[in-house]
Structures are given as C-alpha cells and as structure tokens.
Amino acid sequence: MAHKTSARASLSSSFLALRRRGTHRFVFFVEIAQRAPFSIHTWWCGLLDPLCIAPYASVIVNGIYWAVNSPKLLTIPDAKRLLQPTNTPWLPSSAGAPALPHRLLAICDISADPGGSIEFMNECTTIDAPFCLYDADQHKNTESFAGPGVLVCSIDNMPTQLPLEATDYFGKLLMPYIDDIITSDATKPLSQHRMSPVVEGAVIASNGKLTPNYEYIEDLRNTSRSMKKAQSATAAKMKKVLVLGAGYVAAPLVEYLTRDNSVNVIVGTAFQKEGESLAMKSPNTESVVVDVMKAPDAVQNLVKDADLVVSLLPYPLHPTIAHHCIRHGINMVTASYLTSEMKELHGAAVDANITVMNEVGLDPGIDHLLAMECFDEVRRKGGKLLSFVSYCGGLPAPEHANNPLRYKISWSPRSAFINCMGPARYLENDKEVEIPPGSLLDNAHEVSFLPGFNLEGYPNRDSLIYKATYGISNAHTVLRGTLRYKGFSSAMKGLQLLGLLGDEPHPSLHPRGPEITWRQFMTTLLGQQDNLLTSNIKNLIYERVDKCELRTKAIEDLGLIDDIPVEKKNTPLQTLIFHLSNRLAYEPGERDLVIMRHDIGIQWHDEKKEVRHVDMVTYGDPNGYSAMAKTVGYPAAIAAKMILQGEIQAKGMVLPFAQEIYGPMLQRLKNEGIRCRETTSKNYS
C-alpha cells in the first residue's frame, strides 16, 4: 500500500491501494476526508501519475473527491490508450481462457462525478442497471456486457445495496446517543439543552437556522448554486464550429457535424451563393460572407466566437487563421499538409493550450491512418518495416474519363496542375532519387496493381521526410506517388512543352490587354504570325511536342487552337485552368473515384518476409457527394468532432499518428462507407 498524507494532515488523507488476485490487479484510489477536500493536484503532480499504474490494472476503484477544475484521474484520450489491443504471445491461451484485448476490465467510480475525475463517465449508473460498457474507440456507452470496451459502475447511492449490514452497523453506533436525541425539545434554543458533546456537535440546524458550527454550509450552498448554474449553462451551450471555405469538400463536413443537434456551424466564405447553398442543406447552419485576405477584423471576430475552426481555405492562408486561433485560444482543424510556417507556430499553440489538427483529409489524411495502423501492428508483433510505397489519386470513374487528359476536376484545379510541375524526392533500394522541378511528368510509369483501371503513377513531393515522420528509418524504399489514368502524363507533358503550364505573367494575357483567341495565343507561343493555316499550326505543335500524335490530338481536342476568345488570367497556367474548368467539369449524373494503395514490406522475427497491400477504392454518388468530397470532408469532420468531445486533447500542431486518434477515425470512416481491403504477398525478397 502506498500512503500519501497532505500538507494539512489534520484535514485529509489519501491512499492508493494495490491488490493482486491471480492474474488480476485491483487498484483503489481512496480519500479519507474530515472537513476539507484533499488537493488532488498536489497528489497528482507531487507523488504519482495515475497512468504509471493504470496500464497494469485489471480493475480500478475510484473514491477520490473531485472538484470542478481539478485534474482528471483518467481522461478520454487516456481511455483510448488503455483500451488499445495488446500483443502478448508469451501468455498461454485456450478456449476457456482466451487472450483479452486489453488488461483493464472494469472501473468502479464511487465518487459518482459525471465528467469528473473519470472524464468519460458521463452519467451515473443505477442499482437496477449497475454497469454500462464504455467503448473508448467510438466514445459511446451501451447497456451491455458484450462488445469492445470497459465496464463502468458509478452508483451514487452505493450503501443502499447492503441495507441489512448498513442498518446493523450504524444502529449500534447510534444507540448510546438515543436518549439525548429523544429528550431534546426542538422548540427551545440549543443553548438550553443538556446533552453529550457528540449529539450537540451533530445538530446542524436549530430553531430555523444553522448552528454556529455549521454556518459555513450557507457559503457552500451559494457556491454550489453558482457552480450548477455555470455547469448548466455550459451543458446547454451549443458548440459553435466556424468552417472557412465552401468549396468542393465542405458539404459532407458540414452535414456530418450538424448530425449532432448541439453543434452550430457558421460557414465563412467569400462566395455568397456557395455559402447559402450549404446553409440551406444542413440544420443549425448559417452563412457569412467574409474575405479572409481583405477583412481580417471580421475573420478575427468570427474566430473568437467559435469553439473550433475548420479551415478549408488554400494552405497558404492556414497560418493567418492559426494566428487568430492562438490569439483567442480556439482549437483548429485543417486537411492540408503541415507546412514549415505552421510548424513554427507549434510553441505558440502549446502556450495557448489549443489543438491544431493538421493532415486529416485524404492525402494527407487517410493515407496516414491506414499506414500507421499497419506500422503499429507490425511493431507490436515484433516485425520490421522494410519498405513503404504509397499511391493515391482522385479520378473520374472509368466510364466518365472521356476527355484527352482522362481527368476531371473534383478539388482545387490549380493544386492538381501545380503538383505536376514541382520537384520530388524518394528513396529506392537505399538510393536517394531527386526529380527537379519541371521533370516530374517524365518520370511517370505504369503501375501493376488494379490492372483493370489502366493506371500510371509519378512521385509526389518529398517522400524522404516520412522516414522520420512514420518512424521507418530502416526502410530501404520510401515512395509516395500520384495516380492517374494512363495517358495523362503524356498529354500534360505536351501542354508543358508548349509553355501552357508556365506560372509567370505573359504580355498577351494581361486582363486589360487586347482581345485574343486561343488560336492566336497558340501561334504566339509557337513564335509565329496568327495568319497560319490550321494544318500548319498542327504541324508546328507536332514538332514542339516531340512528334507525338497523341499529344497533338489532345491539344486540339481541348480547344486550344480554336477561334474562341481567351479569358485572360495573366499567366498561361491560370488562363489554361480557367479554360479547362468547364471542359473538365463533371456533368450531372457522373461520378468520380478515389484510389489509394499502400505496399508495405515486412520482415518477421523468423526472417520470413511479405508485402502487405492495402487498397481503398471509393466511388462518388452521382446525385450526392463526390468521392473526393467524402474522403476529405469526412476525416476532417470526424477529427473536429473528436476535439469537440474531448477525445483529442494533445496541444500544439498535431498529426493523426497516435493510435488513439487513427483507430477511432478509421472505424468512423467505415461507418461512412469508406473502407479498405488488405491482402498479402509472400514472395517478397
């Protein structure tokens, strides 16, 4: 038994009792209080972290006094960690004694404080139904003994379960004082009575008022009333989520959040029509027109009134929003990569005691969740991670890939085109490979998996950073790539060779310059006069695109030599994107597709090797959400909801790499129809 006495020993003592019976360990957190509450904070910080003991406990019995704003004994994230599966191959098991998924079986919270020292105990149980099953992964209670989770008992009138024993024990203690109690006269002042000091000291009220020893109760009552009012106001308060951006992926995010009637969503967007459309489709949703760049004060006012901010804006704007959140202590979620600018704000976010969750979309996002699930499983089983190759792509469904690029726009068109032009870096068989800017399309290659889709892939950004990020420093191959239908890279290379992917201002494309047609602009790019015959223009294009017929035909089919006006957007890339935004748009009734593939090389402790294949194929709904919207919007919404519910409490810049984050997220994505399929190849060398 470990014993702790407070600094004011006359007021209170606290005990931690450990008992072992067979293979089970019982932990009792008990406080013996006389007149004042024991300072849990002193005990927690000065002597013992409960998480040093909880992982080894089968049953926890908590009887410690808890007051509002006191530290928690076990938080919601603690429960997620404690209830994670454990791998104990050294322990024998049988049909009669199967291996348990985790050590912790039950918690008895005698303190009966909903949301108190056991944070995930939200409602007291009853004598008729003394147990509920708390599923930490899904953060929900069920009145059942079956299923994943831990049994929780929290009955606030526990002594009445043993009425005979209680009556006998308390009766014997009371008998010596019965005469004094019976002969007392409630109509006389207490000072006129002659009774034992024990009885006199036990009289709380006399002649309609508190006795001197108990006048402090009135102060306690007033404090309690104030606390209850504050708690009631907090419980009844709607959670307000500010969603900045109303683009392609906002609709499923807003819909998911507003399934909870206690969540109110404010959509902040520069485009009134899109915002109002979202507000009309979901309950508890309103739209506000705001330009993040032009109206920082308006944005700041929206942020400070929110409980959480979800930024669906272009990633360069995230640091601006993060600064507002840090200033006002508001949690934040983004689906974008954690940039260096955001990383620099980590310390400030920690100091502000806020969570800024990043990379909870598709890629990045679901790719992390699936990868970390596999990595952690391999590590638990004693295996080594030898390689990691991952591809992801948002595509039209095969039957709707009916344009020269075999590609349609389901997310930010600029990002989709810019990514084709950037640099890339990856590791292949312990050799670092660097691709300079502008050469990415030359490195596209056919991929062998899911052959029915006829796919190709090319490297995406810097894959080497994931050796450290994922904890796979010994892997000999690390590559993350982008998927497209075969032919995309060649057609895009043709556009690049013509100069149409350049992002520098072009004099012919100045918005205030003279009108120009695509035919005229093409001759300008070719360095020719605009009076050429169409056949001659095609021949010049053919020569410029390395004498490739498919590239030449793609340029013609995209309308780039037609006699139609150019909507000038200053740069060739921006002008091309605007031109193609209609030609590459989804028609009513068409659907898109998201494909993700992980190939993970594994070596087990017996030296056997294999490759784990993780495939995720998700289709959009022709009359509903696109696959891209679902696979970006739902993960971001799930992460936001987990923060609102206290399931994620890490501070600073956070990524979804912890099991207590990715586990629940993957399960909830399955509930939305987003799931993966795993297979294994044994012929890995």
Annotated active-site positions, please?
Answer: 363
Angle at 470 between CA 464 and CA 471, to 5 degrees: 95
- In Å, how far are 393, 444, 497, 529, 666 from 482, measured between CA atoms? 6, 9, 21, 39, 22
Please tell me the number of Cα atoms within 13 Å of 106 on its side-chain side. Answer: 14
The token duo for 651 is: 């501070």
Largest Cα span, the chain: 123
Strand partners, 212: none
DSSP letter assigned to residue 187: T
Verify cis geometry, omega within 30 degrees of 0, for the bond prior to 364: yes
Helix, strand, or coil here: 247? Answer: coil
The token duo for 1 is: 């038994």
Q: What is the CA radius of gyration of the chain?
A: 33
The token duo for 169 is: 């024990």
**Distance between CA atoms of residues 561 and 274, nearest Å:** 33
What is the β-pairing status of strands 355-357 and 384-396?
unpaired
Strand ranges in 130-257 using DSSP code E only, listed in sequence order: 131-135, 140-142, 150-153, 205-206, 209-210, 239-244
Work out the number of other CB atoms within 10 angstroms of the CB of residue 19: 12
**Identity of the residue numbered 243:** V
- In Å, how far are 165, 196, 554 from 171, measured between CA atoms? 10, 18, 96
What is the β-pairing status of strands 609-619 and 592-603?
antiparallel
- Contact by Cβ (8 Å): 183, 193: no
- In Å, how far are 129, 420, 471, 681 from 143, measured between CA atoms? 8, 53, 39, 42
**Distance between CA atoms of residues 351 and 1, nearest Å:** 38
**Identity of the residue numbered 131:** F
Tracing tokens 């399309």 back to the chain, one arrives at 441
Tracing tokens 């032919």 back to the chain, one arrives at 487
**Distance between CA atoms of residues 660 and 664, nearest Å:** 7
Sequence-ordered list of residues with C-beta below 8 angstroms from that of 336, at least 6 positions apart, any chain: 311, 315, 318, 358, 359, 361, 364
- Contact by Cβ (8 Å): 651, 329: no
The token duo for 239 is: 């959670």
Angle at 667 between CA 664 and CA 672, to 5 degrees: 125
Tracing tokens 């389901």 back to the chain, one arrives at 410
- Contact by Cβ (8 Å): 174, 156: no
- In Å, how far are 256, 262, 313, 600, 615 from 597, measured between CA atoms? 26, 37, 27, 10, 5
CA-based torsion, 478, 481, 486, 491: positive or negative: negative
**Distance between CA atoms of residues 482 and 362, nearest Å:** 12
Helix, strand, or coil here: 495? Answer: helix
